[in-house]
Amino acid sequence: MPDNSRRQFLSLLSAGFAASALPGWATTPPLPARKIGVALLGLGGYSSNLLAPALEHTRYCELRGIVTGSQEKIPRWQARYAIPDTNVYSYDDMHRIADNPDIDVVYVVVPTGLHMHYAVKAANAGKHVWCEKPMAMNTSECQAIIEACKKNGVKLSVGYRMQHEPNTQLMAGYTKNQPFGPIKAVSSFAGYGGNGLPANNWRMKKNMGGGALYDMGVYPINGARFITGLEPVAVTGRHEKTHADIFTEVDETTYFTLEFANGLVADCGTSVVKSFNRLRVDCEDGWYELSPMQSYSGVTATNSNGQRFGAISGMQQTLQMDNDALALLGQGPIRVPGEEGMKDIQLVNAIFQSASSGQKVTL
């Protein structure tokens, strides 16, 4: 985005118009006659703390329904977000959502190992699907989601919030004009640590998509692909365990490389016990980086020209869901389609294969 429109966008954000001048939009798309109705499926931490609050600021979509397995959560959600009884579903009766014109999209926000099951159910109910990252456990599951959406004539977006974040978009845009020359090296690391060990829940279960590479690894993978615009042709992987007694099923820290056809190598890592949060691109004539690269707030871009692009003040999830809603309103592309989520899952699986064989895996 040119500097002027970027400044304008940031001032609009600080004035509280978080979604009214979406990055990448020359003019603000008009308000729709009717906003897209979203049902959140799975009312855990991410839905409660990020997505539902972000939906209070969206311009093109709003929270209209919930799908949950926890009866006790229902009264609080209904009261907080004015959700009528008719828009409350359990996982068992969610097929009834097909008859509910209030709901246009089901946003799947359950453990990764369950994404495919519920995304297919939502598509079969004739609703558009927003699916959280990582998209699913393997490429067959990703393909099943894509096919179910195609078969039912509904659209699919994967919840990569960083692809909607303005500073990340700005850095990805550098690949077009190469203001710092050709890329020489990429370093992409995302992990959380410092808060003790992760809770002993689905994030410690292999069949649920727990562990570092599924949960956090898709950030450095997707970040490296997005910021270079290139697709890896080979990967290597290596696990590191310092708490083998606790991480009995899943990986704790995984280091990996992504090799691209032009010889470029991205050096990457992810962890659920170590703090990493930086995406750096070194070029022939300079460098640029995002640090932190994937936090909910504070994502800042800097470059070797001494420029600093400060964090946005709105929520990334608001931008993401408004972009995804606009795509459903026929005003713009789906920025992160299922095929994009599936590429990362193919890489996740290849990195696991390399870590277990000790060999480079060619794609």
**Min dist. Cβ of residue 189 to ligand NDP (A):** 16
Out of 104, 132, 289, 340, point to the residue binding ligand NDP (CB under 6 A). Answer: 132
Confirm or reject binding of residue 344 to ligand NDP (CB under 6 A). Answer: no
Task: Judge whether 115 and 135 are in contact, CB under 8 Å.
Answer: yes
Residue 65 binds ligand NDP (CB under 6 A): no
Distance CA(264)–CA(277), nearest Å, equals 21
CB of 237 to ligand NDP, least distance (A): 20
Q: Which residues fall within 8 angstroms of residue 42, CB to CB, at 6 or more apart? A: 67, 68, 108, 109, 110, 111, 118
Q: By CB under 6 A, what part of segment 262-281 binds ligand NDP?
A: none
Please, what sign has the CA dihedral across residues 108, 112, 117, 119? positive
State the nearest-atom distance from the C-beta of 344 to ligand NDP, in Å: 12
In the complex with ligand NDP, the residue whose CB is nearer, 87 or 112, is: 112
Q: Minimum distance between the CB of residue 341 and ligand NDP, rounded to whole angstroms?
A: 11
Copy the structure tokens of residue 189.
């690391």
Strand partners, 129: 106, 156
Does the footprint of ligand NDP cover residue 73 (CB under 6 A)? yes
Return the closest-CA partner of residue 221 out of 104, 298, 99, 213.
213
- Contacting residues for 124 by C-beta, under 8 A, at least 6 apart: 95, 148, 152
The reply to whether 109 sits near ligand NDP by the rule CB under 6 A is yes
Q: Could you report how far apart the first and last alpha carbons of the chain are, in Å?
A: 34
68 binds ligand NDP (CB under 6 A): yes
CB atoms within 10 A of CB 47: 23
Q: What is the footprint of ligand NDP within residues 158-197 (CB under 6 A)? A: 159, 161
Q: Does 362 bind ligand NDP (CB under 6 A)?
A: no
- What is the smallest separation between the CB atom of 260 and ligand NDP, expressed in angstroms? 25
**69 touching ligand NDP, by CB under 6 A:** yes
Q: Is 58 in the site for ligand NDP (CB under 6 A)?
A: no
How many Å apart are CA 338 and CA 343, to the nearest integer? 9
Sheet arrangement for strand 105-108: 88-89, 61-67, 36-41, 105-108, 128-131, 156-158
The residue nearest ligand NDP at its CB is: 44
Count of positions on this chain that bind ligand NDP (CB under 6 A)? 22
204 binds ligand NDP (CB under 6 A): no
List residues binding ligand NDP (CB under 6 A).
42-47, 68-70, 73, 109-112, 114, 132-133, 159, 161, 201-202, 215
